[in-house]
Amino acid sequence: MPQLDRRTLGAAMLASTLGAGLASAPMRADAASATPPPVVVRRRVGRFEVSFLLDGYIDFPYALFTGIAPDVLEGAARGLHIARPTGVRTGFTQWLIRDERHTVLVDAGPAGTVSPTSGRLPRALAALGVRPDAVSAVVATHLHVDHIAGLVAGGQRVFRNAEVFADRRDVAHFTDPAKAAAAPDLLKSSFRAASELVRLYPRLQRIDGARTILPGVTTFDLAGHTPGQIGVRIEDGGESLLLVADMLFHPGLHPAHPGIGILFEQDRAAADASRARFFDQAASEGALLAATHMPYPGVGRIVRAGNSLAWQPADFDYAA
């Protein structure tokens, strides 16, 4: 039998502590699986703290993507080790931007509408100590339901004191009864959610691409995925981060293939062209980006890789 020295004694004590923890683990695991803890990552951009909140996730079926046959896409996903039986898994990330005086939410998630795993945003906000009433502004990057459903709950507005910013073109498009009637079933919930948003938020600001939300937080035009998609630029103290929503959303094939889109895009040519333009520009600028559906927390850069482009995840901001 080996001598028990200080180190092995320490290891034995640690093991028994862990053992004690494990003994009570089943109860905790049950509780945890019933209510998964909120997922939040934070990052500093100058004076701002940016929190990356996860409302949930979905497996996008291969047949939803455009510009590539479903079986080819599934084969590519297999090659990249990101194929799941039900499609390609992606998250729904929202962003909370705070400085000493402001609390701005960018997008509000699907809130259970398109995926049963979604609807976790309220708990993520609570975990950060943010009451919905304390949110001073909400920017809707575009009016697809997976970005705005969380603005409304039970027929009431969730963020009672917030001004809501959305692009004028998206508001016009998604509240047009003729367009709603002609829209494919897939998109009908977005038209409904947009109309509800307009009805319940009297302080909705219809913006024209670029707008200063507060000093250091501005919107910019990213039209293509929808008629009025916008991004949000956070800039302070020589640092910047661009929240680019659905400019890229395929975890394996964007940004290398800008011609791959999704059926939700009503003007495919415009969407493809905007991706090609933006991907090239972002690679040239080396801009730090955050995208809703890229692997969580979805922060990274578009970089040149030979004649192609690649997604380079950013390092983790341990200090935030």
In order of 2, 13, 32, 87, 173, the CA distances from 17 in angstroms are 21, 6, 21, 41, 60
Q: Give the nearest distance from C-beta 298 to Zn ion in angstroms.
A: 11
Q: Give the nearest distance from C-beta 138 to Zn ion in angstroms.
A: 16
| 146 touches Zn ion by CB under 5 A | yes
| 55 touches Zn ion by CB under 5 A | no
Alpha-carbon span 188 to 168, nearest angstrom? 19
Phi, psi of 261 (to 5 degrees): -125, -160
Q: Which is nearer to Zn ion, 146 or 167 (CB)?
A: 146
Phi, psi of 83 (to 5 degrees): -85, 130
Considering only residues 55, 246, 265, 272, which one is a binding residue for Zn ion as defined by CB under 5 A? 246
DSSP class of residue 84 equals B
| 107 touches Zn ion by CB under 5 A | no
Q: Within 58-77, which residues bind Zn ion (CB under 5 A)?
A: none
Contact 109, 149 (CB under 8 A): yes
The sign one gets for the Cα dihedral 225, 313, 297, 319 is: negative
Which one of the spans 178-186, 246-254, 274-282, 297-305 is the region binding Zn ion (CB under 5 A)?
246-254
Question: Facing residues of 50 across strands?
Answer: 43, 97
DSSP class of residue 150 equals G
Q: Give the nearest distance from C-beta 147 to Zn ion in angstroms.
A: 6
Q: Give the nearest distance from C-beta 186 to Zn ion in angstroms.
A: 13
Which one of the spans 93-101, 142-150, 157-165, 172-180 is the region binding Zn ion (CB under 5 A)?
142-150
Q: Give the nearest distance from C-beta 91 to Zn ion in angstroms.
A: 10
Tell me how many residues contact Zn ion (CB under 5 A): 2
Residues lying near Zn ion in the complex (CB under 5 A): 146, 246
